[in-house]
Amino acid sequence: MHEIESWVAEKRSAYLYRVVAGRETGTARQALFAELAQEADKQAAIWERHDAAPGVRCRSVSSLTCARGSWRVSCGASACGHCAAYWRR
């Protein structure tokens, strides 16, 4: 699994663990799922530190964008995980 995909998977897990923890108010499972959410966030932070180089498509779009001086050029960030991650920073 690619670093960005791994980061996304951990963030999704953390979100779902928090949802479940919220539904388990007052039970031992609430603490368990809250702890799982924290651990997933820690794992996502580890993946976030990995500095994956942007792909060819992303570098091409970045070059075009810089050359045109406009953000009208788009790679469709949903199709290019590198761009989505780098542009979020």
One domain for residues 35 and 74 = no
pTM beyond cutoff 0.85:
no
One domain for residues 9 and 47 = yes
One domain for residues 40 and 83 = no
The residue-averaged pLDDT of 48-64 equals 68
- State the pLDDT confidence band at 4, using cuts at 50, 70 and 90: confident
One domain for residues 11 and 44 = yes
Q: Using one digit for the tens of pLDDT, what is the confidence trace for 12-53?
A: 999 999 999 999 889 998 999 999 999 999 999 988 877 555
pLDDT score of 74 more than 90: no
Residue tagged 């779009």 (tokens): 61
Q: How many domains does the chain have?
A: 2
Q: Which domain holds residue 69?
A: 55-89
One domain for residues 37 and 62 = no
CA–CA distance from 16 to each of 1, 26, 62 (Å)? 20, 18, 34
Separation of alpha carbons 1 and 76, rounded Å? 21
Separation of alpha carbons 58 and 84, rounded Å? 9
